[in-house]
Every structure is written in C-alpha cells, then in structure tokens.
Amino acid sequence: MAGIRDSRRALARLLHSEAAPGLVLMACAALALALANSPLAHGWHALFHGTLPWTPIAKLDSAHLWINDALMAVFFFVVGLEIKREVLAGALADAQRRRLPVIAALAGMAVPALVYLAVTRDHAGLHAGWAIPAATDIAFAIGVLALVGKRAPPSVRLFLLTVAIVDDLGAVAVIALFYTAKISVAWLGAAGAVLAAMVLLNRLNVRATWPYMLLAVVLWYAVLHSGIHATVAGVLAALTVPMALNAHHDSPLLRLEHALVAPNGFVIVPLFGLANAGVALGGTGGSPLAPLPLGIAAGLFLGKQAGVLAAVLGAENLGLAQRPEGTTFAHLWGMALLCGIGFTMSLFIAGLAFPGAPALAEEAKVGILAGSLLSALGGALVLRFARSHAID
C-alpha cells in the first residue's frame, strides 16, 4: 500500500509540474509514430482522416480538420491571452526587458528560414515550407528545460519562455500573411464586425467572460469561411479580452487563461500530436536526407541555435541589451538549442505549406521530428553540464 501511495504522490507531483504538458506531448508523439509504423496504421489514419458520417460544418468533414481548424483555434486563443498578459504586465511590458528576446526571436525565425531555403534552393516546389523551421514549441521546450532542473538559472526559463511567446506571435503573423487562401470579402467583413463588437465590449468594461467566448466562436466561424486560417481568430479574440485587474486582483483574461491552460496542455495539444505526428518511416517520408526533411531539420537544429545565440551575443557586444542574469555561454547555447524544438507549430505550418501534397507533408514530419529531437537532446546535454557560480 505504501508503494501505491508513493506512486500516486509522484504522479500528482509530475502532473502539477511545468514539465507535464511537454512530457504528455512527447508521449503522444511517440505513440503516433509507433501507430503509423504498426499493423494498426490504416485504422489510425482512417480515424483522423476518414470522412465523418455527419458534421455540423461542411468544411470540417474529418476529425483531423476539427482538431487542426477548431481545437487549435483554442490553442491559439490561449497563446493570444499569454501574449497580451506578457505585453501588459509581464516580461514584454518593459521596452528594455523585451528588446533582447524580441531580437533573439526575430533572428531565430529568419536564420532557420534562410537555412531551409539554402538547402532547398534547387527545388522551387519546396520553397513554400520556408516557415516550418522558424517556430518554437513552448510546451516541449519548457518541458525539457524543467527536466534539466537547477542546472539552468531561472532567468534562462524566463528568457526562453519570452522568446517562444514572441516567436508564436511571429508565427501567427506568418500564417495570416503567407498561408492564406482566396479571400472572401463578405466573410472577412463579417469577421471584422464581430471583432469590432468584441472591442466594444472591452471598451464598455464588460467583465463577464461568456460574451467574449460566445463572440469568439462566431468570429472563428466567420474567419473559417473567409480564406484566412481559422486559428488566427483565436489570437484576435484573445486580444480583446480585458486584462485590467479589479479590486480582487482578478480579470476576465486571467480567469480564461487559468481555465484553459490545463485543457490546452493536456487535451488539445496532445490530440494535435496524435493526429499529426505519425509518419510511416518506411514510406514516402522515410528519407531524412531528401531536400525537404533535411532543410527543415537543418533549419531547426542549426539555424535556430545560430540565429538565437548570435542575436543574444551580438546585442550584448553592441550594447543593445544585457544577457539574462546569471547565465554563462553554455546556458545561452543550451537555451538556443531548445529554441530548435519546433514540434507543434512546425507541424501546423507544414500542413498549411503543402495542403495538396500528402507525400511532402510526410517528408516534412520527418524533418520536424529529427530537428526537434536533435535540438531537445543537444539542449538538455549542454544545460546538464553547464556550470555557473550563481548555481554552484
């Protein structure tokens, strides 16, 4: 009985740790990969990609589309809430403090894209995937960092989190600007009207959360039919939710973020991993040295660490900003490596980059998995052996 109680306590501690969402995501990715390379592969694929017998929205006729276009809108809604909170009252609120992570995030998006385009330069049909290695997976990266423990000072976690948040904002902008289908002016106008109504609620200081949630669903439906990817609606809706604290130090934004963080980390993102991470390694996506997977893996593993590390050291040497407190070169290098874990957002962008080419989407998954795994292992090893007077 004592052993069972100890196991339960250990499980409870794990589930309440910041590493938990990342570990659940890793487990789901491994399960999806195992299923895709097992005798159950056909049934697994049919479960997510088969046409549903009935759907309330004609555009979403498979479980895969419901996950990627509907549930992931909730994921982006939470991302939007986090971005707004950080900009108004967090690490991005102070211009001097946000300078370095913004510079690092921009360089960490540009350099991987350039590495990818350099590898795929002779294959014009692959150029649409330039943004795939530009993203960082917050849950995965923070999960790996949490497993390293006290080998990294708290400032590394805060900096990594801030870079990833800016990175997410950049990814949303990329999706809206570069991965948009034919625009429907009528639906776009409807979306604009709904968004204006949400802004008005904010201006009127409406503190209840249900009006924002209701209009967020309407906004999502309009954006879904507008030609812009539906998940962009999640971020736009989140930015209208009031952040100002009341007498009880509470706000609609904080209540919604608190309510959605667990479902987002333990249900939505793992479901996305199950539906998108599986790739048949012996099939069309099985060659990691093909230009597409090689370009993505090189962008994530080499481009990310080079861009982020060069930006941090360059900004410090030029006097533009100071490195995170208590960090050594090894801490910065390990953090830059962890930025190369692009799992969730990279898989998402890959689906947008090659919507009508399943073979290319499979190849992209190989590159994402390889680049993210190398980045995770490399970052963990560097931080594991990093030393600092602030820690030792």
How many domains does the structure of the chain reveal?
A: 1
**pLDDT of residue 285 exceeding 60:** no
Q: Residue 291: which CATH number?
A: 1.20.1530.10
Q: Which residue has the tokens 């294959």?
A: 123
Q: What is the mean pLDDT of residues 320-346?
A: 92
Q: What is the mean pLDDT of residues 157-164?
A: 88
Among 133-142, 184-193, 339-348, 372-381, where is mean pLDDT lowest?
Answer: 133-142
Torsion of CA 342, 348, 354, 358, to 10 degrees: 100
Query: What's the whole-model pTM score?
Result: 0.88
| 3 occurs within a structural domain | no
Structure tokens at 28: 């789901």
| 307 occurs within a structural domain | yes
pLDDT of residue 154: 84
pLDDT of residue 16: 55
Place 57 in a pLDDT band, splitting at 50, 70 and 90: very high
CA Rg value for the chain: 21
Count CB atoms within 10 A of the CB of residue 113: 20
Residue 62: beta bridge partners?
51
| 35 occurs within a structural domain | no
Residue 51: beta bridge partners?
62
| 97 occurs within a structural domain | yes
Q: What is the mean pLDDT of residues 43-71?
A: 94
| 18 occurs within a structural domain | no
| 101 occurs within a structural domain | yes
pLDDT of residue 5: 55
pLDDT of residue 249: 86
Q: What is the mean pLDDT of residues 34-54?
A: 93
Cβ contacts of 246 within 8 Å, gap of 6 or more:
207
The mean pLDDT of the chain is 89
Range of the domain at 262: 59-384
| 45 occurs within a structural domain | no
Cβ contacts of 311 within 8 Å, gap of 6 or more:
103, 104, 106, 107, 108
**pLDDT of residue 333 exceeding 90:** yes
| 52 occurs within a structural domain | no
